[in-house]
Amino acid sequence: MKIAIGSDHIGYGLKLHIIDYIRLKNIVITDFGTHNEERTDYPIYAKKVAEAVVSGEYDAGILVCGTGVGISIAANKVDGIRCVVCSEAYSAKLAREHNNANVLAFGSRVIGTSTAEAIVDAFLTAEYEGGRHQKRIDMITKIERGEM
Ligand code: RB5
């Protein structure tokens, strides 16, 4: 599994923690920035991670900003991205199983490191169930393409 990760300056510290946490699991993770705590703009990193996932080079993405909200809104503007902002693990699990989410977002001002770890674990271990859910994913894709 290959993971693309990104954050703004507010999410930077929590992102570093999560990178170390994921590397311990022998999962390949690439940091698309930002690379320090200098003020910057979250759409830059949302776009980089989203495009890395849509390209097929990465299996999933993780984004961190202050709340996870801005960076998830930006990521969802990229065709093919289903980014979910989570503050607890159950939603992260179901986002994978039911919504086939391909990017996870959370906020460093909202959750601490152990909750972030639990959310990441839930997201990375759950699998899309397909079946009855596929019809709804197809409808989302149609909205994205202006076909519905
Ligand atoms: C940056 O100040 C902050 O707005 C950003 O990290 C995020 O919380 C936006 O949703």
**Per-residue model confidence (pLDDT) at position 131:** 97
pLDDT of residue 88: 98
Three-state DSSP class for 24? coil
Give which of 37, 31, 33, 44 is closest to 10, Cα–Cα.
37
Cα 59 to averaged position of ligand 1 atoms, centre (Å): 25
Ligand 1 site, residue 8, Cβ cutoff 6 A: yes
pLDDT in tens, the chain (148 residues): 999 999 999 999 999 999 999 999 989 999 999 999 999 999 999 999 999 999 999 999 999 999 999 999 999 999 999 999 999 999 999 999 999 999 999 999 999 999 999 999 999 999 999 999 999 999 999 999 999 9
Counting from 1 in the atom list of ligand 1, the atom nearest the Cα of 11 is 6
Between CA 50 and CA 105, with CA 115 as vertex, the angle to 5 degrees is 15
Left if phi > 0, otherwise alpha if psi is -120 to 50, otherwise beta: which for 75?
Answer: alpha
Structural domain count, the chain: 1
State residue 80's pLDDT score. 97
Ligand 1 atom nearest to 109, measured from its CA: 8
Assess whether 86 carries a catalytic annotation: no
Q: How far is CA 34 from CA 28, 59, 69, 117, in A?
A: 18, 20, 17, 20
The bridge status of strand 103-107 relative to strand 60-65 is: parallel
**CATH label of the domain that carries residue 101:** 3.40.1400.10
Give the range of the structural domain holding residue 46, as residue numbers without chain letter.
Answer: 2-144
Q: What is d(CA 148, CA 40) in angstroms, rounded to the nearest whole number?
A: 36
